[in-house]
C-alpha cells in the first residue's frame, strides 16, 4: 500500500512539474506573440495614418468641390425664388390698389357695351369701390387677428406662470412659532413663624459673679474649727 501511494505521489509530482513547464513555455510564447502583434499593429497604424491622411486630403478636395457646387445651386435657386416672389408681390399690390380713373372708364365702357346707361356704370363702379374697401378692412382685421392669435399662447403661458408664482407665494408655510418655555413651579412660601420667634430674644440678666473659692489652707482651717466646735458642744451636752 505504501509503495502504491508513493508511486501515485511521484506521478502527481511529475505531472505538476510538466504542467508548470508547459505553462512557462506558453507564457513565453504568449509574450512573444503579443510583442509581434504590437509591432504589427504599430506598422499597420503608421500605414493606416498615412493612408488616412491621403484619403482625408482627397475627400477634403471632393467635399470642397461638392460644397461649391451646392452653394452655386442654392444661390441660383434663391435668385429664382426671389424673382418669383417679387412678381407675386407686384401682382398682389396691383390687385390691392384702389380702382382709379382707368377702372371707372372701363366700367362705363362695359355698361355701354351691355346696353346700359352711364349712371348704371357709375353706380356699379361705386359699389365695386365700396366692396374693395370692405375687402381691405376685412383683410387687415384678419391679419391683425392672426397675429393676435399667435400672441395668445405666449400671453396664456405668461399668465399661467404669474398665477403659479402668486399661488406659490401664498402657499408658502409660515415660519413655525417657537413654543413658549414651560413655566417653572413657584417655590412654596415659608410657613409663618410664631410671634415668639419673630420677637427678638430678651437679653438674659447678668449673672452674678461667682464668689471666689477659698484657698485650700483656709478651707482646711475652717473644717478643723468646725470639728472642734462640734466636739465642744457634744462634751457640754454630756456634762449636763
pLDDT for res 202? 47
d(CA 237, CA 44): 169
Mean pLDDT, to the nearest integer, of 32-50?
A: 79
State the total domains in the chain. 1
11 lies in a domain? yes
pLDDT for res 93? 63
235 vs 8, 113, 171, 224, 239, CA distance in Å? Answer: 147, 209, 130, 17, 6
Domain that holds residue 47: 1-56
44 lies in a domain? yes
38: pLDDT confidence band, cut at 50, 70 and 90?
confident
pLDDT for res 212? 53
38 lies in a domain? yes
User: Mind listing the pLDDT tens digit for each residue in 141-184?
Assistant: 776 665 555 555 666 667 777 777 776 666 555 555 556 666 66
pTM: 0.22
User: Mind listing the pLDDT tens digit for each residue in 96-124?
Assistant: 555 556 666 666 667 667 666 667 777 77
**DSSP character string of 85-132:** HHHHHHHHHHHHSPP-HHHHHHHHHHHHHTT--HHHHHHHHHHHHHHH
80 lies in a domain? no
pLDDT for res 196? 47
50 lies in a domain? yes
Helices 118-170 and 101-113: crossing angle in degrees, nearest 10, is 130
Tell me the pLDDT of the chain averaged across its residues.
68
73 versus 196: which is more confidently predicted? 73
pLDDT for res 237? 56
35 lies in a domain? yes
Mean pLDDT, to the nearest integer, of 46-66?
A: 78
Mean pLDDT, to the nearest integer, of 200-223?
A: 54
pLDDT for res 81? 82
35 vs 23, 97, 116, 120, 164, CA distance in Å? Answer: 18, 87, 109, 107, 68
pLDDT for res 204? 47
Return the percentage of the chain with pLDDT > 90, whole number.
Answer: 0
Mean pLDDT, to the nearest integer, of 69-86?
A: 82
Q: Is 29's pLDDT higher than 60?
A: yes
User: Mind listing the pLDDT tens digit for each residue in 214-237?
Assistant: 455 566 666 676 676 666 666 555
31 lies in a domain? yes
37 lies in a domain? yes
Amino acid at each position: 500500500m505504501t509503495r502504491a501511494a508513493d508511486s501515485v505521489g511521484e506521478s502527481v509530482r511529475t505531472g505538476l512539474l510538466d504542467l508548470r513547464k508547459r505553462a512557462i513555455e506558453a507564457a513565453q510564447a504568449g509574450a512573444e506573440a503579443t510583442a509581434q502583434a504590437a509591432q504589427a499593429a504599430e506598422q499597420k497604424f503608421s500605414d493606416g495614418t498615412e493612408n488616412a491622411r491621403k484619403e482625408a486630403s482627397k475627400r477634403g478636395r471632393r467635399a470642397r468641390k461638392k460644397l461649391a457646387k451646392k452653394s452655386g445651386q442654392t444661390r441660383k435657386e434663391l435668385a429664382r425664388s426671389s424673382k418669383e416672389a417679387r412678381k407675386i408681390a407686384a401682382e398682389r399690390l396691383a390687385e390691392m390698389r384702389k380702382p382709379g380713373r382707368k377702372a371707372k372708364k372701363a366700367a362705363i365702357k362695359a355698361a355701354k357695351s351691355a346696353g346700359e346707361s352711364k349712371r348704371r356704370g357709375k353706380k356699379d363702379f361705386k359699389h365695386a369701390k365700396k366692396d374693395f374697401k370692405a375687402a381691405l378692412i376685412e383683410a387687415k382685421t384678419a391679419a391683425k387677428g392672426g397675429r393676435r392669435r399667435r400672441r395668445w399662447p405666449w400671453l396664456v403661458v405668461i399668465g399661467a406662470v404669474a398665477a403659479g408664482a402668486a399661488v406659490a407665494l401664498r402657499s408658502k408655510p409660515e415660519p413655525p412659532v417657537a413654543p413658549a418655555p414651560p413655566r417653572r413651579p413657584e417655590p412654596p412660601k415659608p410657613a409663618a413663624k410664631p410671634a415668639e420667634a419673630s420677637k427678638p430674644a430678651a437679653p438674659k440678666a447678668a449673672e452674678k459673679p461667682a464668689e471666689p473659692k477659698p484657698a485650700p489652707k483656709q478651707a482646711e482651717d475652717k473644717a478643723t474649727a468646725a470639728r472642734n466646735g462640734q466636739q465642744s458642744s457634744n462634751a457640754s451636752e454630756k456634762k449636763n
